Every structure is written in C-alpha cells, then in structure tokens.
Amino acid sequence: MLSRKILIIFFISFIFPQNALSGYGFGSSVDNSEAASLGVSNELLPSFKSKVSLSNPSTWHNLLFSYLNTSVNVQNSVFQSDSSTNFSFSSAKLIIPWKQKMAFGVSFEPFLNREVTISDSTFSSFSFNDEDILFSRINNSSGGPSKGQLSFGYKLNEMDSFGTSLNIIFGSSRSSRNLIVDNENHLLQSRDYFSGNMIDLFYSTNRFKIDEKPIFFSVAYSIPLSGIDIENDSYQAFIDLNDNNYHDVNDFPNVGQALLPLTQNFKDELKINSLKFGADYEFSPRKHFQFELLQLSNNGKHSLDNSVYGGHIENKSKLSLSYIKFAQPFSRDRFNFKASMFFQNYGVKNLENINEVGLGLGVGFNFGITGNQIDFGYKYANRTGVFVVEDETLHMFNIGISIGDLWFVKRREI
Amino acid sequence: MKKNFENFNKILITIMFLISCSEETILYDEIENREGTIKTASLPQTNNKLYQSFPSFSSNSKLHFGNVKDSENLFSLVQMTLFSGNIPPVSLVDLLADSIQVDSAMVFFQTSDSLQTDFTLGLYSIIADDDSVFSDSLNYYTKDNFIDYENNSMLLNTLDLSSEIVAPDTTGLDSIKFMFEENSGSLDLLKEYFLDSDTYPARTLMLKDEDGSLNELFTIESNESSNGPKMRVWFKAFVDEETTLDTFITFFSQTDISVFAPPAIEDDDFNYISLNSGSGLRSVIEFDLGIIDSLSRNELFKNSNLVLDVENSNLNEDDEFYIIVSALQDSIQNWGFSTPFVENEEELETISSDANFIISRKIEDNQVRIPIQAFLQGYKNGLFQHNELMLYSAPVNSPFDKVRLNFNAIEVMYVEP
C-alpha cells in the first residue's frame, strides 16, 4: 500500500520539477543521482562504503552483499525573486557481487530533466473590430529521457579492476506553447522521443602509494555507441475549447479535422563523450581526501531547434575536492561523513557560459549485519551567467536507502 | 516501532506531496517578443454568382392563401384518399351505388389564423383523366409540366370567409367547412364530379381565393398536420328490405401542395447577393484565399467573419431573417445565372453544399456577421477544396421574404501559439 502511495507522489513530482538550466537544449543533465555520492560531489571515488562507489562498477567487487539502492531528491531553486521546490525520483539500482571477483548491476535513473515553464508577466491587448482582445503566453516543457543501465565490474588482480556500463537512453519529453486569448487556450504541442546507447568504461587501480598508503585512482570514459536519436512529433495547433489540455472532438479544429502529427527523425542529436579522472588518498585510517576531474562534450547535431532558450550546453568541465570519513565496519562507529566543494563550467552554444560553484555535505548511517545504509546528501550550488535569470542558487537534498541482503549470493561466499 | 515507521511514512508522503506541487515560472517576454502573435487580414471577394435552385416552403404543414410581399398565392391542391378511414373500407365511387343514399357531405379544414380581410374561398374538383395530377415537384416554375388545373376543374362550392367567421378558439384552431346538401344542388355536383372516381380518378380538390382579393397571408393546416383536410359523408345504406343503415364515413387527405408565384427575379437582383426561398434564389461568392498558402501549419483562424450589409428587403419590422452559409462540394464552373428549370437536362447545373460547413446567422441592425473561421481552418487543413461559399435563405424564413445584401468584408484574425 505504501509503495502505491509513493508511486502516485512520484508521478506528480515528475510533472513539476525544474531549474533554470532545464531551458537549455533538451534539458539539464542529472548529476550525482544517488545520495551517497552527492556529499562528495564526485562519482568515481568511494563514497558508499570504503572502496566502493555506487556509480563506479569497477569498485563493486568489493561489496560483500547484494544491495538495492533507491534515492529520492528534493531540489530548491532560487532565481530572481522566484523560488521553487521540487521533489523527484533520483535513482534505483541493484548491485550483485559474485565471489568478490566480479559484480553485476542494473539501474534506472533520469538522464535529462526538461521541466521548465516560462510565461508572460502581463496580458497584452490587441484591437480587432473595435474590440480589445487580451492575450498572454505560456511555454512549458516537461519530462525528459531516462537512462537504463546494465553494468559489469571485474577484478583483474589485487591491484586493478575494470568495469563497463551499457546505457540505454529512452523516454520522451513534451513541449507545449499556450497562447491564451480571451481565456481560450491555443495549444501547440509536440513530443520528443529519445533513443540511443552509450557505453561507459571504468578502470581503477591502487598500484600507487604515498608513504605506504595506497592511492586509489580511477578513470572513466563514456562514448556513444550510437548517437541519441530524437523522433519529434509535432501536433497541429488547436483551441482547447473544453480546457482539458487534450486535442479531442470538442476542440477547434476538432481532432478529426486536424492535420496528422508531423513526424521528423533527427539522427545523432546528442553525442556525449566524457572523461572522468579521480584519485582517493586515505591519509589516515578511514579518512580520505579525494579529487575528481570531469570533461564532457556534446557533439550532437542539435538540428531540432526546439530549445526554450535557443542555446544548448556544448561542454562541461568540473573539478571536485572532497573529504570523507568512513564508518568502521562491525563496530559502533556507524557514520560516514562527507564534505566537498566543486567548480563547474558549462560551455553554452549561442549563449553565455555558465559557472557553478558549490558545496556538498553528506552523512551515511550503517545499520544491520548486512551493512544496510541510509544516506543523506546536501548540495549547495551557485550558478552565474544563466540566460535571463543571471544568478541561480540551488539547494539539493537527497535521501538514499540501501538494503543489503544475500540475494543471488551464496552464504558460503561471505 | 512498526507504528512509528508507518507514521514516519505518512509524514514523509505528506511533505513530498506538498513540495512537489511548487512551481516557478520564468518570464516569457524576456525571451521572446510577443509582437506578431496575433495577425489580421481582409479577404477580397473575387467573384459572385446569383442562381436559382428549387423553391422551398418554410413549412409543409400549411397551405397558403393570399398575396403578400410581391408573391401571389395561386391555388392549393388536396388529394383525398380513395377509401374511407372506416371499417369496412368504402370507396368514393361506392357511395354512388343504388343501395346508398347520400344525404349530405362536408369538406372541412382547420386553421390557426385569424382574418383581417374578407374573401371567398372556392373549392374545385380536378376533373382530369389521370389519377395523379400533381407531385412534389409542382411549383410556379414547373406548372406547365402538369395539367392546366384552371381549365380542368369544376367549382363545387364557395365559402365567404371573414374575421367574424374565422376565429380560432381556445384550442387555437377554427374549422372551415364546405357543406354539401341536397337542397342547394351542391351535393349533386360533389357526387358527379368528385365521388365518381371512375370518371374522375384524380380525387383532387383545388382551393383558391376566388377573386384574388386577399392581401394577407392566410393558412390552413395541411396533410402534414394532424388537423389536415377531411371529407365526411352522411348516407343511408339499404342492407335489405327491412334494414337501413344510417351512418357516415370520413375520407382523409393523402397529399397536398400550395402553388404560388414567388417574388420575381429582377435585373436588380444581379447587383447584389439576393436571397429568397420562395423563388429558390441563392448566391455564391468566391474570395481570395491566397493568404492561407502563406500561413504556417500552426496558425489558427479565429474571430473571422463574413460581413454582409442589407441593401434592401421586404422584411417587416418584426420579421426575422436567417442566412445560411455553406461550403461547396464542387467548384463553380459557370458564374452566370443558372436555373434548374431547363428543358435539356445536360444544361442542368447542380450546386451542392458541403455538410462539413453549414452555419446560420440572423440579420441584426441591417447587417449579418457570419463566423467562418471553421471554413477557413478547414480550407487550410485541406478539408475544403474550393474558395467559394453558398448563401441562401434558411428554411425557417418565410418563402415570401426576400433580401438583397452587399458584400462588406471578410475580416480574418489568426494566431500562432
């Protein structure tokens, strides 16, 4: 019964979340989808357990149990004099280690978020046949593609391991332009269907040491197997006479007299390559210092010009510095503490680049013999150079629950 | 512990719901200029056609008399049933048998009108050899295709009608009765020229204003009404030497029609959009829709009106006149006057309306504004192929009402979300 309620809440929340970056291109990318990594502002380096990052399959063989992780996200965005608070599903992930040699994982998480609404602040007047006609406009987009991920991690030897993830991009986003004339909604709706595949390659090693203390290095490279294609279905504009936001026989022109949707296929609209490099140094027992670099580029064609702002993010660079203190397994010390700061730059095509500076904080609490964990992550970020709104401040709060069990793991392997 | 966990879930769900419904907006006018969101245009008329279609009555439930608004009501024809409505059925000619003695008869009609003018209503019998002397296609323009009713009729009876005689009662109806009795000699006429259906099989009665003095519209209920024309005959039937049946039977009307001369089609009508249902006068206008080709797929028509001004009409102050505008199934080939009353069928031009766009509006303040955005949008979407609209008088209008209209403008407003 509870799960049913939560599903309803998720559905509602998918309708509303937004931040100002959602207006660029096909929407804003979703970073640090699970709570454990939000506090450290990186993805490759251990943040869930010592030597384990939920986002890095090359570390999963270090897990003793299978874990089912679910995260939800609350985001508060402040720009100009407005503020919005939104709740959304963040990620779901199942990781199954096998004989501490390899691991398999399957996950689902949002890929792009396109929730944004822009509207006229006042009504305009138009005179026709000695009548004043009032009108205003609302441009709304929602939804966004999701990412399904199949992952595999393998321990090559005591020093090295690698991992790979096959990312399947699917789902759709909707755009709606509404011209309100004398309280009648004139709707122009379109839908973008996304499909594409990407592969992530991970390599991790702890061959290097400083003062006999190993340094954990990890690198990840993402390449598109095939570019992300978009099928754009554009529906003919109509007057929504019955205000149900749906084109039916009671509208003008009625749905039977309207032109068929115009379907256009765009190949390789998004082609995302990214390279991540990170290092983790355990300078004191269970206390780590981490840094990670990210360089991302989008070489997609972007032929479909339906961006709200008329610009899209071409590349992104990120540097994060983190401190983490892990709990001691099987002891009373059950808390992981994380703190981080990061610098990020978005290169925007046709528009001003965006700079982002932020802080991350996180706490993880271990409970149960199987290492169940609940993670709380908080991120504060300040963006400058955002189109129209200029400055935007984000507060993101993420909660993740990881349940460990012996699913698919033989008891004698522990 | 379990209860605490459930309470925590409830609180969490409530918080999630409340914060999920928060939404902010960015101002549109800072991103895209709103100029040009709404546009207007005026569509010029490029051609027009006056033509005649089959005349139509506003209502088939009445038979008309009187001369009104340049129309002259000529006569009405009523065909009676061959057999009575009683059991066993008795035919008209059976009443002339030796064993039957017709005592009297009455042909009667119902009216809901009152009269201002006195006039004499004549009742004739059509004495033709055919049993079918008229059809629905009979009208002023086609009467030459039928028999000459005036010269093939026998006056059976007359009735002087006046405002004192015709006065509908509380039921809203009054009866107009033609009596046929032995002593007046009219019964013999009825027996000879009407009941003898072997000789005169038409069994059709003709009614007309005898001296053409009625200058107002007077109607009686037709066969379409439940109070249609009837004939009652009282008679004695000699069953045997000792038995005589004294009874009556009733014959009902089977079909009827009024024939009238509608307002004439005049030369001046060709200078206007002229409409009259009595004469079948209609108009077609063609206008330039070239602007539609230049519009984008998502531009929507709204508030677009065909505006017509009344040049002149024969409407009285309280009269209402509705104009119907419809799209055409086929484009007009001949922009000259055309009529369905042609001898050679190859010359017949059929102009049919497209049921996907038919709209009606009333004349108000000497102007009519007819919304045509559905037609324009349909034309844009390929639903209509022809840039022409047909205009005609609505069936609710009197067939004697005639208007002449001037094309004012087609004002068009269109928007793109």
pLDDT digits (tens, 9 = 90+) for A148-191: 999 999 999 999 999 999 999 999 999 999 999 988 999 999 99
What was the pLDDT predicted at B21?
41
Question: Nearest 5°: phi and psi at A152?
Answer: -145, 135
Of A10 and A56, more confident: A56
What was the pLDDT predicted at A14?
32
Q: What is the ipTM of this complex?
A: 0.76
B359 touches chain A (CB under 8 A): no
| Tokens read off for B256 | 């009827």
Say how far apart CA A322 and CA A379 lie, in whole Å.
13
Amino acid at A131: E
| Tokens read off for B254 | 């089977």
Say how far apart CA A143 and CA A11 lie, in whole Å.
11
Confidence of residue A63 (pLDDT cuts 50, 70, 90): very high
A177 touches chain B (CB under 8 A): yes
What was the pLDDT predicted at B208?
92
Say how far apart CA A402 and CA B293 lie, in whole Å.
61
* DSSP secondary structure letter of residue A261: P
Average pLDDT for chain A: 88
What was the pLDDT predicted at B13?
55
* B13, B19, B21 member nearest A5 (Cβ): B13
All domains of chain A in start order, with CATH = 2-413 (2.40.160.60)
Contact map slice: B 255-314 vs A, CB within 8 A: 297-300, 302-303, 305
What was the pLDDT predicted at B243?
85
The residues facing A167 across adjacent strands are A149, A198
What are the extents of the domains in chain B? Answer: 38-55+264-415, 62-261
- Angle (CA) B143 B146 B147, round 5°: 110
Output the CA torsion sign for B262, B263, B269, B273.
negative
Q: Mean pLDDT for each consecutive 10-residue tract of chain B (417 residues)? A: 57 50 52 73 92 80 86 90 84 89 93 89 91 88 89 92 83 90 89 91 92 88 90 89 88 91 90 92 93 90 92 90 95 90 82 93 94 94 93 91 91 89
What was the pLDDT predicted at B31?
59
Mutation site for A-interface testing, chosen from B10, B26, B375, B413 by largest number of A Cβ within 10 Å: B26
Question: Distance from B16 to chain A by nearest Cα, in Å?
Answer: 6
Mutation site for A-interface testing, chosen from B11, B18, B23 by largest number of A Cβ within 10 Å: B23
Say how far apart CA A318 and CA A276 lie, in whole Å.
9
B355 Cβ neighbours under 8 A, 6+ residues apart: B326
What Cα–Cα distance (Å) separates residue B234 from each residue in B104, B174, B180, B252? 5, 22, 10, 15
A263 touches chain B (CB under 8 A): no
What was the pLDDT predicted at A13?
32
CA-based Rg of chain B, rounded to a whole angstrom?
32
B370 Cβ neighbours under 8 A, 6+ residues apart: B305, B306, B307, B308, B323, B325, B359, B361
Name the pTM for this structure.
0.79
Q: Scanning every residue of chain B, which has its alpha carbon at the shortest distance from the alpha carbon of A13?
A: B20
Among B335, B331, B394, residue whose Cα is nearest residue B362? B394
User: Is A332 a residue whose pLDDT tops 80?
Assistant: yes
B5 touches chain A (CB under 8 A): no
Say how far apart CA A341 and CA A323 lie, in whole Å.
9
What was the pLDDT predicted at B7?
61
* B26, B299, B356 member nearest A118 (Cβ): B26
Contact A83 B24 (CB under 8 A): yes
What was the pLDDT predicted at A414?
46
On chain A, the residues whose CB falls within 8 A of the CB of B29 are 120-122
Average pLDDT, integer, range A37-62: 94
A312 Cβ neighbours under 8 A, 6+ residues apart: A24, A25, A26, A298, A302, A348, A349, A350
Confidence of residue A2 (pLDDT cuts 50, 70, 90): very low
Average pLDDT, integer, range A268-284: 94
Enumerate the H helices of A58-197 as residue ranges.
none
On chain A, the residues whose CB falls within 8 A of the CB of B1 are none
